[in-house]
Amino acid sequence: MNLHVLNGDATLLPFKASGIVGDVIVWREIVSEGPVKDVESAELFKMRADFICKNFNESPKEYTLKVVEEFKKFDKISKYDEVFLWFEHDLVCQINLIFILKSLLLFEHKKLFVVLFYKDEKRQKKYKGFGALTAAEIIQISKYTVAINLKAQKFASDCWSAYAGADPFKIQQMLYQIPSEFPFLKSALTAHLKRFPSIYNGLNYPQQKLMELIAHGGMDISQIVYQFLKMDFAYGITDLIVTNILKELSPELVTLKNPVKVTEAGVRILDGEADLLSLKESNHWIGGFHLHKGSIGIRWNETLKKIQLQPNY
């Protein structure tokens, strides 16, 4: 008997229709968003439940049922001949993947496989995710797998520890050590680092792209969210997350009355004449790094394609 770990309920529908034999675990967490720490699962899930229930309209009971109880099914993983992990190329899926591989390291399962989605970028962009595939396509794509040996799994475990730690420079150092078993991990981790404030104006990459969309003018919130999701290839975030980013930018940088507009302060920031962090205090998590008023000044340098300490820090 095989086990298939799916990246959410959207994938469950075509997977069931495909008739692929095996038990299923549905992974519904998004550990790429909000606070994380490299701690035991019980402590982590308590932290995550607080965040998810506050930001995604879930109740503690629902979180326990959908995430914690589902995670406990891994306790019986030794009974399965092979384990297939269905995770895509984007940041959300890749961070979920390294977390699960670290968690499974305790069980020493010797036959782990990652279903690779499509390696070629054109097909990736055509299909937005496993959930958009037909049953026949799910069957076809199930053949695109790579075996995860112990060395690769330990790298994924170390990668999660670095992601969930307070020093993001460790992630940057690992970008050029990624084994071939993880062809999408480098681009996903780079997208993660681009969530740090830009050295140019303090906006992170998703904020910058949203501000540029709004600056074009004439769109309401739903249109902006749609356009952002349409062009997003790296992050894999949901409409609710995009809406939350818009709320964070309001009212200083954007007005959320339809049509949404960039404020005068927002225009100055887009032009590089002002810095977001000097105008608006931040208080959120980027992996295990807590960005707030007293935190170390770490910035993304788009020219050098890396994070660095803020000049004159």
Q: What is the pLDDT of residue 106?
A: 82
Shared domain for 182 and 159, answered yes or no, is: yes
Q: What is the pLDDT of residue 62?
A: 97
pLDDT band at 72 (very low <50, low <70, confident <90, very high): very high
Shared domain for 223 and 142, answered yes or no, is: no
| Region of poorest pLDDT, from 120-129, 132-141, 243-252 | 120-129
Shared domain for 68 and 21, answered yes or no, is: yes
Question: How many beta carbons lie within 10 A of that of residue 312, not counting itself?
Answer: 5
Question: How many beta carbons lie within 10 A of that of residue 108, not counting itself?
Answer: 10
Q: What is the pLDDT of residue 116?
A: 82
Which of these three, 192, 216, 241, is where a domain ends? 192
CA atoms of 271 and 263, how far apart (whole Å): 12
Q: Is residue 138 a part of any domain in this protein?
A: yes
Q: What's the pLDDT tens digit per position in 267-301? A: 999 999 999 998 888 899 999 999 998 888 999 99
Q: What is the pLDDT of residue 211?
A: 96
Shared domain for 105 and 163, answered yes or no, is: yes
Shared domain for 114 and 14, answered yes or no, is: yes
Q: Is the pLDDT of residue 181 over 80?
A: yes
Shared domain for 22 and 153, answered yes or no, is: yes
Q: Which residues of 269-302 are buried (b: 16+ CB within 10 A; e: fewer)?
A: bbeeebbbbeeeebeebbbbbebeeeeeebbbee
How many domains would you assign to the chain? 2
Shared domain for 119 and 169, answered yes or no, is: yes
Shared domain for 138 and 12, answered yes or no, is: yes
Q: Is residue 197 a part of any domain in this protein?
A: no
Q: Is residue 265 a part of any domain in this protein?
A: yes
Give the domain CATH number at 70: 3.40.50
pLDDT band at 123 (very low <50, low <70, confident <90, very high): low
Q: Is residue 99 a part of any domain in this protein?
A: yes
pLDDT band at 161 (very low <50, low <70, confident <90, very high): very high
Q: Is the overall model pTM greater than 0.85, yes or no?
A: yes
Could you tell me what percent of the chain has a pLDDT over 90?
A: 81
Q: Is residue 199 a part of any domain in this protein?
A: no
Q: Is residue 232 a part of any domain in this protein?
A: yes
Q: What is the pLDDT of residue 48?
A: 98
Give the domain CATH number at 255: 1.10.10.10
pLDDT band at 39 (very low <50, low <70, confident <90, very high): confident
Shared domain for 162 and 239, answered yes or no, is: no
Q: What is the pLDDT of residue 280?
A: 87
CA atoms of 109 and 2, how far apart (whole Å): 12
Q: What's the pLDDT tens digit per position in 203-258? A: 999 999 999 999 998 899 999 999 998 887 789 888 999 999 999 999 999 999 88
Shared domain for 183 and 217, answered yes or no, is: no
Report the run of H or E that residue 198 belongs to, with start and end.
none
Q: Is the pLDDT of residue 173 over 80?
A: yes
Residue among 31, 24, 27 at smallest CA distance from 1: 24
Shared domain for 212 and 262, answered yes or no, is: yes
Shared domain for 213 and 294, answered yes or no, is: yes
Q: Which domain holds residue 94?
A: 2-192
Q: Is residue 198 a part of any domain in this protein?
A: no
Q: Is residue 118 a part of any domain in this protein?
A: yes
pLDDT band at 162 (very low <50, low <70, confident <90, very high): very high
pLDDT band at 69 (very low <50, low <70, confident <90, very high): very high
Look at the block and give the residue holding tokens 């050590």.
177
Which of these three, 192, 223, 244, is where a domain ends? 192
Q: Is the pLDDT of residue 128 over 70?
A: no
> Using an 8 Å Cβ cutoff, are 207 and 182 in contact?
no
Q: Which two tokens stand for residue 124?
A: 């990736």
